[in-house]
């Protein structure tokens, strides 16, 4: 049984910082990352990191967000700096399990940036 448990969302002023965490259980995960969905918009990739450490970022967050992972703890982090109002969304943890390549989602955590 795979579970992804997120924490760290909340309300922050524009220009502030937040750090999201996601602990995964139930397997080994080749890719871990974060997506977000704002009201009325489609879910989009924010950032992802492979077991090797290779990272991918959406253009809109490059230079402001940093994704990292602790493979031993099956945990992925998203450090978000210089937050903008357009970063307001529900952020979802995502992980792809190694042996069956299935994709799993967390329950989502709200990030609200006030301007």
Residue 42 scores a pLDDT above 90: yes
The confidence score (pLDDT) of residue 24 equals 97
Calculate the CA 56 to chain-centre distance: 12
Residue 40 scores a pLDDT above 90: yes
List, as one string, the DSSP characters of the chain. --EEEEE--EEEETT--EEEEEEEESS-EEEEEEEEE-TTS--EEEEEEETT--EEE-GGGTTTEEEEEEGGGTEEEEEE-S--GGG-EEEEEEEEETTT--EEE---EEEEEE-
Quick: pLDDT tens for 49-100: 999 999 999 999 999 999 999 999 999 999 999 999 999 999 999 999 998 8
The confidence score (pLDDT) of residue 99 equals 87
């Amino acid at each position: 049984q795979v579970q992804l448990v997120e924490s760290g969302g909340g309300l922050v002023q524009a220009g502030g910082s937040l750090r999201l965490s996601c602990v995964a259980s139930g397997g080994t995960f080749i890719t871990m990352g974060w997506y977000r969905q704002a009201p009325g918009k489609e879910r989009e990739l924010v950032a992802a990191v492979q077991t090797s450490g290779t990272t991918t970022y959406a253009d809109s967050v490059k230079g402001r967000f940093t994704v990292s992972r602790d493979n031993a703890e099956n945990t992925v982090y998203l450090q978000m700096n210089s937050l903008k109002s357009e970063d307001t969304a529900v952020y979802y943890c995502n992980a792809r399990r190694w042996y069956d390549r299935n994709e799993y989602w967390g329950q989502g955590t709200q990030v609200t940036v006030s301007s």
